Structure 1
Amino acid sequence: MRFDNGRLITLEGGEGSGKSTQAEILAMRLARAGRRVVATREPGGSPGAEAIREAILSGKVSKYGPFAEALLFAVARKDHIDCQIGAAVTDGKWVVCDRFVDSTRAYQGAMEGLPRSILESLERLTVGDFMPDLTLILDIDPEAGMARANARREEGEEVDRFEQEELLLHDRVRQGFLDIAEEEPERCVVIDANQPEEIVAEDIWEAVTERLGA
């Protein structure tokens, strides 16, 4: 249940899809439209979750398998909801979150093969009914996305845990997100992220205003 018109909007997609940039643009546009906005990210968004983020993206957890990663993502997400976004939405704020529950479904599920039953059990324990009002899935060809991700990396910057995966596995991630959108069309909108940044931003704004009346 949402109180005082608070909303949770999540942006999802593979590597190089432009989620972080588009999340920032959307948060600014919502603020200009008079909404009280909280911009955040996953894994992270709260002190405890940020500590877990560092461990996961460093690759230290991957050797223990997808269940260990999914479990830590779930712990981080619970802390994020309890410490930040749950109260923000209840207070009437519009939360824009760069990644949320669908990333776990796509990466640990579609890419790494963790059974759906396990993911659903973790979701019941950590998220419950606190699902996004709108999920924007930024769809991009994995090869183009990885090229973008490589181009934006600063000299000497390490490749994170998920950027290291082979292109075939990123194809699985892309299909995982598209499958989610097909299963939950009332929540999800697929955005063509192969387009220029400004066009993607306009498509996102159109989806938000049409679905949520921003």
Structure 2
Amino acid sequence: MQTAYAGMLQGFNRRIEMEMTLVKLCREERHTDTTQLENRVAALEKVLTQLRQNPSLLAPPPAASSGRGYTAPTVRPDKEKMELLRKNAVPLAQWPEIIEEMKRYSKAIGMGFEGSTAYTSGNYVLVDSQNDLCFEMLRKQANRDRMREIIRRLTGQEYKLGRYSYPDETKPDDPLSQFVADLQAAGVPVEDSKKTSDGTS
């Protein structure tokens, strides 16, 4: 066993070293004909010798996963296009029903959209939510496809999915947010009452 352990530490393939050791340990000496067993041990020793002399013979590692089931999020539209989409946005009346349908598909995903609103603009459904978790869920292709299918079934139209706004921008129709942004830009400290009431900082 000590010899096997040393061979595993120094050898190129620990699995072959271990297999050879197990074969030797399992050899039943009471059998008079051990030709096949000895031939196998000899073959394993030959392979191990070849691998030691030429490590390139080792099989390459398996290829990395292709990441099926996951697709990177769609490219964010430029500022002008986003402003145009929001300008023409109309509230999606069926959104509460869509959320309920998503809950039937996945309770966790459906709950992630609680408190959100959605709008249609052109061929887009723009989701507006303070919970970034719901957008993370939509990064998975299967979840996006399911939501688009539910939207198609309830509205009768095909839509792409997008965000109504992004964390690093101020909504053009939100004067309060714009006012706060102007104060912060002027160096005036502004306290977030929501965070204070939640006990967060």
The answer to whether the superposition gives a TM-score over 0.5 is no
TM range (shorter): under 0.3
Select the structure of larger CA radius of gyration: 2
TM-score (norm 1): 0.23
TM-score (norm 2): 0.24
